[in-house]
Structure 1
């Protein structure tokens, strides 16, 4: 029984420590990772798994190792921010794969990036015809950024000289059927106002699964009762 309890304590400690370290290192560690983030993530995972299950190694050693790894990673992040040359070594640097509409085979071989991978990355950017591409860049986080040739680029409102309306950040009003009191209060809104808006639609707050005020101040509500008798993905 003691052995099981020890595993539980070590496992919970490992999770809590990793959460704390991730909080300290910042959101970049859990986003699309650079070389530095990838190495840090794998190393932390390996040490944490040993902390949880390897009883042959003292917990204090594993905790110390996690602290040292986190500290080293944080130090490297600071160095990368301050020094451009070190940043390229620590985090990597972008590689141009297509320039002026021409595929750079040498660069692709250098980073071991195949045509299949390039085609897949272009499709992920909504491009199925490679002749649409002016530039494609393999970023240091492994993602491919694409600039289309001018004749294939989308027309914007600015291009068409249309009247531009000011936009605001979407404001969540109701989530899981519960009014977001802080959001309402911080934006000068009340539950009474929200109820009045819903009454116009013949609904109540309890009928709403999710409600949001959009970028153009429009109100959008999703109700629990969708009126869909046979959802497509439900058997």
Structure 2
């Protein structure tokens, strides 16, 4: 435990207020200088971005310092009460104020005070208007901090200012996690393409928003939470890529709502598509009548893929990720046995196929790359 002298408490808070004010003025001067520099070079777009960046950083620092200054002013009023209490106690005990130490700069019930070689506990009433001293003994010898021991690093007793650094670090961790999930999933952005992606965005936002402002959650705990969620996300992606039934259960499957100008009303209602919503989606695709539509398919992400009689029909993969797409083969009027026969004729196993589509009654196949032992490189055969 540290016990601070009366002179240290008085000096610390007057110095801290001065430092905060000086730093705020310095940042404001940098902002003005940057603004003048940008005005002289405003024809160069690079300086515009630099000016915005410096302005945002400056505004952030000024905001933090202003908040600290306000907190400091509020704390100074409480410190004044503590200083007055210590002076009264010194006078009551007939000792020099330099012999009085306290473990806090604010009044609180149970605070410890050292007078000469004796230690006391201060007990206050409910509104801190009266007190009594009770002599006590400490388990360990305290560290005494005097005015001569003052340093900038000891310019206050509160560590609340470091909360801003914790928030900044959590933002950085959240940003890195989002970027990694986007890159590792190969999506390129956060636009959802199925139910798992949508759920991932919601929960990811909830995790980041809920933990950033919670000071009880440390940065290490935050990193562990993000790792747990990432494991869950990629586990679901792996499982859905290995099982068609699970994939349809979680992500759903494309649903044909209009075929050859005929609307499948029961299927549309089953998927929650009202008549006004269907008409709206047709209009935004430049189609005024459903009779013009050859095929309109509701995709897993809620978008409507439309082809008219003048367009070529959309072809869905017959095989994807080593699994046969049952809906696609039905559209092609084929059976699973037909597909397996085609593969057997070409001596290709189903699990080795990355992607396959029908084109002019032929099955175009893209296989998984295999590893060459000779040059340790991957290539497709």
2:193 to 33, 44, 49: 33
Matched residue SS, 1:30: coil
Query: Is 1:111 matched up with 2:278?
Result: no
- Please say if residues 79 and 86 of structure 1, whose CA atoms lie closer than 8 Å, have aligned partners that are also in contact: yes
- Give CA deviations for 1:86-144 in whole Å, capped at 9, x if unaligned: 11112111112112322222112111111222122112322122220122110112111
Stretches of structure 1 that go unaligned for 5 or more consecutive residues are: 156-235
2:305 to 114, 121, 145: 145
Who is 1:128 aligned against? 288
Who is 2:323 aligned against? none
Offset at residue 37 of structure 1 (A): 0.8
Equivalent positions of 1:209-228 (< 5 A) are none
- Please say if residues 11 and 51 of structure 1, whose CA atoms lie closer than 8 Å, have aligned partners that are also in contact: no
Offset at residue 46 of structure 1 (A): 1.0
TM-score by length of 1: 0.59
Offset at residue 14 of structure 1 (A): 1.6
- Please say if residues 96 and 137 of structure 1, whose CA atoms lie closer than 8 Å, have aligned partners that are also in contact: yes
Who is 2:212 aligned against? 52
Offset at residue 147 of structure 1 (A): 2.4
Q: How many residues align?
A: 152
Who is 2:235 aligned against? 75
- Please say if residues 76 and 90 of structure 1, whose CA atoms lie closer than 8 Å, have aligned partners that are also in contact: no
2:177 to 14, 17, 20: 17
How large is the RMSD of aligned CA atoms in angstroms?
2.1
Offset at residue 77 of structure 1 (A): 1.3
TM-score by length of 2: 0.37
Query: Is 1:102 matched up with 2:262?
Result: yes
Larger radius of gyration: 2
Who is 2:67 aligned against? none
Offset at residue 4 of structure 1 (A): 1.9
Return the structure number with greater relative CO, CA threshold 8 A, min gap 6.
Answer: 1
Who is 1:205 aligned against? none
Stretches of structure 2 that go unaligned for 5 or more consecutive residues are: 1-160, 313-381
- Give CA deviations for 1:1-43 in whole Å, capped at 9, x if unaligned: 2122222222222212221222222217624420011111111
Offset at residue 154 of structure 1 (A): 5.5
Moved over 4 A (4+): none
